[in-house]
Amino acid sequence: MEYLQTQGISLPRLGLGTFRMQGEACRAAVESALGLGYRHIDTAEMYGNEDAVGTAIAASRLARKDLHVTTKVWHENLAPDAIRRAFDASLKKLKLDQVDLYLVHWPSKNMNLPAVFETLLKLKQQGRTRAIGVANFNLALLKTVVEEIKAPIACNQIEYHVMLDQTRVAKYLAAKSIPLVAYAPLAQGRAVPDETLIAIGRKHGASAAQVALKWLLDQDGVAAIPKASHAESQQANLEALKLKLDDEDRKAIAALPKDKRFVNPGFAPAWD
């Protein structure tokens, strides 16, 4: 597994997403992934599955230092007291003393950003999270966090896949050496039946999903967290790392429509 070094943590470039997985199914999927060699699990208080994720981690008996766990605070809980309460609840459900990365899940229109980061930094200083970061922050918000608040963010987790252009945010993150963690890296499954990706995959004996993942992971400073419930897909996604795309493949992927944003809740500030 390859890692990205950021703010004192080593982030495995391929992780397991867990949105829309709950209870026993989630526990089984995370246990399967850990057994196959995944060392990066992405969860959030909003997913309602931290308990199941924690149970799978405990059962894995992996050394804690070998595992990266990200969780996130929901946008309704960004007041300092609410962050502290949400964090305590997440840690308890995960059955951990510390998470590796704690993210603001979504910006909210009325959040007090300096107060949010003061609270997150305190959690980091207390050793309860090893690093802090953001998700779904547009360029303007990122600039505020990095250049005005000067918060040591370890990533921006955003929607990014073969059907969505993220050049502006990606360039900014790269210039600041901040990893981009691509969520919905398979365009929520829509990459799977795409004819262009299928044709590229056929050439290499790979699937469309593997092509979509490798296109992301060929980019410097990018990690990806596909959600996969079944062992077969989890294994296939791990094997995507071995695929070698060529210039012709990249050209065909570049020509796909890049305006497909599938996650856009009304409560968040506009994208650009």
Ligand X SMILES: NC(=O)c1ccc[n+]([C@@H]2O[C@H](COP(=O)([O-])OP(=O)(O)OC[C@H]3O[C@@H](n4cnc5c(N)ncnc54)[C@H](OP(=O)(O)O)[C@@H]3O)[C@@H](O)[C@H]2O)c1
Q: Which stretch binds ligand X (CB under 6 A): 52-60, 75-83, 181-189, 194-202?
A: 181-189
7 vs 32, beta carbon nearer ligand X: 32
C-beta separation of 214 from 243 below 8 A: yes
Residue 135 found at the interface with ligand X (CB under 6 A): yes
Q: Are 73 and 105 in contact (CB under 8 A)?
A: yes
Distance CA 44, CA 104 (A): 10
Counting residues that bind ligand X (by CB under 6 A) gives 28
Q: Pairing relation of β-strands 16-17 and 40-42?
A: parallel
Q: Which two tokens stand for residue 26?
A: 């989630």
- Exactly one of 60, 67, 229, 241 binds ligand X (CB under 6 A); that residue is 229
Residue choice 28, 192, 241, 252 for contact with ligand X (CB under 6 A): 192
Interface region with ligand X, contact rule CB under 6 A, candidates 13-21, 78-86, 167-175, 247-255: 13-21
The C-alpha atoms of residue 142 and residue 151 are separated, in whole angstroms, by 10
Of 3, 38, 47, 102, catalytic: 47
| Smallest gap from residue 70 Cβ to ligand X (A) | 8
Which part of the chain contacts ligand X (CB under 6 A), choosing from 1-9, 53-61, 89-97, 185-193?
185-193
| Closer residue to ligand X (CB): 61 or 108 | 108
Question: Among 104, 197, 201, which residue's Cα sits nearest to residue 156?
Answer: 104
Residues 138-167, interacting with ligand X (CB under 6 A) = 157
183 annotated active-site: no
* Among residues 226, 238, 253, 268, the one that binds ligand X under rule CB under 6 A: 226
Based on the shown chain and the rule CB under 6 A, indicate whether residue 189 belongs to the binding site for ligand X. Answer: yes
- Least distance in Å: CB of 194 to ligand X? 11
C-alpha span between 87 and 123 (Å, rounded): 9
Query: Taking CB under 6 A as the rule, does residue 22 contact ligand X?
Result: no
Instruction: Give yes or no for residue 41 binding ligand X (CB under 6 A).
Output: no
* DSSP state, residue 176: T
| H or E element at residue 203 | helix 195-204
Q: Does 183 bind ligand X (CB under 6 A)?
A: yes
- Least separation in angstroms between residue 232's CB and ligand X is 8
Is 215 a residue that touches ligand X (CB under 6 A)? no
Alpha-carbon gap, residue 6 to 243, rounded angstroms = 25
| Site for ligand X, residues 70 to 109, rule: CB under 6 A | 105
11 contact partners, CB below 8 Å, separation of at least 6: 3, 4, 5, 40, 68, 100, 101, 154, 155, 179, 181, 223
Among residues 13 and 61, whose Cβ is nearest to ligand X? 13
Query: Which candidate, 134, 136, 59, 43, places its Cα nearest to that of 91?
Result: 43
Q: How buried is 60 (Cβ within 10 angstroms: 0-12 exposed, 13-18 middle, 19+ buried)?
A: middle
Q: Which residues make up the interface to ligand X (CB under 6 A)?
A: 17-19, 42, 105, 135-136, 157, 183-189, 192, 207, 209, 225-230, 233, 236-237, 263
- Active-site residues: which are they? 47
